Every structure is written in structure tokens, then in C-alpha cells.
Structure 1
């Protein structure tokens, strides 16, 4: 379950310091069987901010919760107006060196799997296959009544038709694809229903306060069990949805390696935490292991 965004972890415990040494990560990848668990930090170099850390969006933005979304039409109007605008920018984001490195590692056969907490689809755009989207993806929409899934671009077209002239500007797009807009900018934005049953449409993502589907959790647990080690990339591990897999790996005495600029909630379980920028760090490791990097899309 993803925690409500008002609940955040503060690294006050006596955790091991970060390192700039990449060799432990390179050694784990050379040995193979590495399961990648990525978070918002891997996408910051693509222009998508993360939730925490310096300048993180939680310092100024409260993501929509499932409870708020389902509670009333006005909350859904605010969400869809902001998300519709955010999708225009969010959908133009492109994979960065970190995503391309993960895809290159997978092509080279050193990864056992990829789990991402992100909803941006950038791992797949970089060429990664069979990515487990722990929190879903913004490029799909689900009806809460009939559970029909439809592509996001179809909803975008319908919202454009229902809201001609909707062209507010937003300086910031958040990790959940939400744009910062005022109530005045939202105005009387029109939300459209499911074309199949007239039900409420929601992005196919796990909102804060909502449960990750149990089958997806069990699939991830099986991936951890099968892995030789777990490599965390750009995640603070603040919420239990990702931390539980790090704990599982540690309990099974599998090495946990973390590349993240700030301390994480999983540092106590880690063999090492590298504090270097992700794109440069992973590119350096790929060069060291003679793994050719792809060019993404």
C-alpha cells in the first residue's frame, strides 16, 4: 500500500554513509541475476521531478489520493484538468542514460528482471522488456465500474473535444503526471465518462492510499526470490510498496545495492549506497563491463 503523501520518512537514524565507489555495483552486474527496482530518481534526468530529496515535489505538491478521487466530482474535475495538461508534457519525456543503461544491461543478460515504481513508461521506451509497473502506468485508463482498459491517448482526444480552448500554462509537472494549476485555471473543465458503461474513469495507476494489486506484489516477490541480488535505482524506498522487496532480499541474505543521491529508508539493508548521479554512474559501469549502450527510442 502506498502511504498518504502527508506521511514522509526523515532519515534521522544512524545509517551507513553513502559512497562514490561503483565497483560493488559493477561486480554484482558482472555476476548476473540482478533484479532492478527503480524509482522516480531515475527519471529526473528526463525532466520529471521526483517526490523527495532536494526540490522534491512533495515539498509543494500533494498528490491525489484514491479516497479523494472517489469521494466527489469536484476532486475528479481538478485531477483530470491538471492531469490532462500534465500529460501533454509528460508524454513528451524521453529516456535518459539511466534508462538506456538498464535496457543495455537487460539485453546483455545480466538482469533477472526490472520492477519500477514509476508510471512514466520510460524504461520500456528505452528498450527494456517485461517491466513490472508496480504502480501502474499513466498511458492507460481504467473504468472503476466495468474495469475496461483504454489507451490514454483516446481519453486525451475526448477531453480535448470536451474542453476546446483549454490552454492554461503550468510551470511544473509532477512525477504522477499532474500539473500545478489554480482553481481559476481549472474553471469548468469537463470530465468525460466511460464510453462502455458511463462509469468513472481513472488512470491505471496506484494512487496514494490505494493497494498495489496482490497478484502484482506476489509476482515481484517471486522475482526477488529468483534474483541473485537487488539493485535499487533512484528510489528513497519511503513507501512500503518498494521497501518490502528490499527487506525480503536482505532477509534472504541477497546483496542489496542502492544508487541514490540521498539517504533511503533501505540503507540499513544495503551492502552499499552510491551517491553519484544515476545516468553517469550507470554509463560508467556499462563502459567498465564493455556493455554497449543503446540510443533509446
Structure 2
């Protein structure tokens, strides 16, 4: 994990004039008290990880939890795609936005960080008080015995079960990546040849240790997230379209209790009607500006 002293510097580029005016308004709202921060996939796009719903994002149909547990062929298809996606996502590094968030926390400005991302880049950048709302891509869990394993360990097992498969897949043509380490692969024969690994302890079904569409966020994570919002004077949403209820509920909760809701995101969000201020701009640059301009507490 990178220490605060070695974090990359905030970018020197200045926001556009109209964006700067909105940022100053946001600064006025957030200054003087700690705030909660909710981040989404839009923060990791500068690390080379595509988002689901941002401007220009390709339409995606992620596998649901019910599909995953319902059919062995679906699990084979998912793990084949994840094997490719993991090879890409594990090489991603934190960007300036992640570094700015770590600075905000280090300076005592955050009550906590709630992230919808599973890429663990906040932790890699030095953030500490993080709720990984949707789980983490670097672990897998057995659905039968509930043991957890490193995704790196599983990658080695999958390589042994499928020698040369990844190289053949990557040479087959363009492959689209998704922020949950999934990858879109259309070669049915290639997918059909993939051998799935099972739990080494009980032989049960292994699943990435993150929340699928159609699956509920664990109650303890939700409660920790509400506590972060309750302790805050405001909620800042950065890089999330708030399309799914797992994140939108915290914006609604903050607004219901009279706390300002600030949204920084490219494009519309489902929470725009709740926003005290909305900035349609690049997330990393905006967070970098705020980390540099907000006074420490």
C-alpha cells in the first residue's frame, strides 16, 4: 500500500472557468466540517477501467446472481470472462483522483469513504476508512463453506487448469472490459473449452467476493455507510450515476436529514434532483482541486 508521503501530486491543470465557479460553490458548502464521500466507477476511468453508464460507455448486460448460481454454463462463461478481465484489472494503478481522496482523509476532512467500486484502488492509494460497498475483486468466496481465497491464488489455479487459454483469448480479437473484472467475449467455442475451478476445501462453487446485480449488499456494510453519512455535515458523490439503489439510498438519506448533497459526475445521475450543487466535470481534476483548496480541520 502506498504511504501518504509518496502519493502522486495533484495535477497542476486548472478547471475551466465555469467549472471553477461551481467548485468554489462546492468549497463553500464543504468547508468547515467533515463530509462523507461516495465514489463510483467514474473515478476509476482515468486508471483505464471503463465504467458502466458514463458518456460513451458501451451498453452492458452484467450477469445477475440468479444467472450465476442457476446454470453451470453461466458460471463457465463468467469465469472465462473474469479470467481475462482479472489479467487487465489487476494491473490498474490509482490515479490522481484516488490520491486526492486519500489526502482529504489524511487531513481529517472525511467521516469516511463509501465506494461502489470493487477495484481496491482507494486502498492502494492510501485511503483507510473505506467501506467497499459492493465487495472486492481481489478475493473469491465459496458459496458452500464460505471460505475466502485470494484471486491471485485462483488465477494460478485457472492457469493450470487452462494452459495457454488466456493467450488464445487475447489473440482472438478485441475484448471489452468492465469495471467488475468481467470481459465481453463472443467466441462460444473458446468459452466452452474453459475449465472452472472449485473450492479446494469442499468442492463448492466459487464466486467473486463482490455483489452481483440482483444480490443484496451485506447489512453490516449498509449500516457502516449510513453511520458515515450520519456523522457528516454533507455528502459528496463523485463519479457515480447513482443508478442502483445501493448508492442512491445514501443520497436520499442525506437529503432527508437536511444535509447538502454535492454531485460531481460526467452526465446525468439518478440523484440530480437531490443535489444542492451538481458539477458535470471530470472527477479526478475536481477532487484534486478540492483537496488542494479545502482548509484542514
TM over 0.5: yes
Deviations 1:108-163 (A, max 9, x none): 11111000001111111111012101100110100000000111101111001100
Query: How far off is 1:290 after superposition?
Result: 6.9
Is residue 179 from structure 1 mapped to residue 183 from structure 2 by the alignment?
Answer: yes
Q: Is the 8 A contact 2:137 2:209 kept in 1?
A: yes
2:196 alignment counterpart: 191
Q: Is the 8 A contact 1:118 1:133 kept in 2?
A: yes
1:100 alignment counterpart: 99
Deviations 1:187-217 (A, max 9, x none): 3100011011110000000000001111211
2:245 alignment counterpart: 240
2:80 alignment counterpart: 81
Q: Is the 8 A contact 1:94 1:122 kept in 2?
A: yes
Structure (1 or 2) with the greater helix fraction: 2
Q: Is the 8 A contact 2:32 2:295 kept in 1?
A: no
Query: How far off is 1:286 after superposition?
Result: 2.4
Deviations 1:213-268 (A, max 9, x none): 11211121121111111000000001110001100000000111000011111111
Deviations 1:60-90 (A, max 9, x none): x211100000011110000000001110110
CA distance in 1, matches of 2:227, 2:290: 27
CA distance in 1, matches of 2:228, 2:269: 22
Alignment of 1:127-276 (within 5 A): 127-166=126-165, 167=167, 168-169=169-170, 170-182=174-186, 183-276=188-281
Larger deviation, residues 181-190 vs 237-246: 181-190
Larger deviation, residues 276-285 vs 197-206: 276-285
Ranges in structure 1 where 5+ consecutive residues have no aligned partner: 1-18, 292-297
CA distance in 2, matches of 1:237, 1:200: 31
1:44 alignment counterpart: 45
Ranges in structure 2 where 5+ consecutive residues have no aligned partner: 1-17
CA distance in 2, matches of 1:233, 1:157: 35
- The structure 1 segments of at least 4 consecutive aligned residues displaced by more than 4 Å after TM superposition are none
Give the length in aligned residue pairs: 271
- Structure 1 pair 29–104 and aligned structure 2 pair: CA distance change class (3 A): farther
1:286 alignment counterpart: 291
2:23 alignment counterpart: 22
Q: Is the 8 A contact 1:35 1:113 kept in 2?
A: yes
1:294 alignment counterpart: none
2:183 is paired with a residue whose SS is coil
- Structure 1 pair 42–70 and aligned structure 2 pair: CA distance change class (3 A): same
Query: How far off is 1:30 after superposition?
Result: 2.7
Is residue 31 from structure 1 mapped to residue 32 from structure 2 by the alignment?
Answer: yes
Q: Is the 8 A contact 1:29 1:111 kept in 2?
A: no
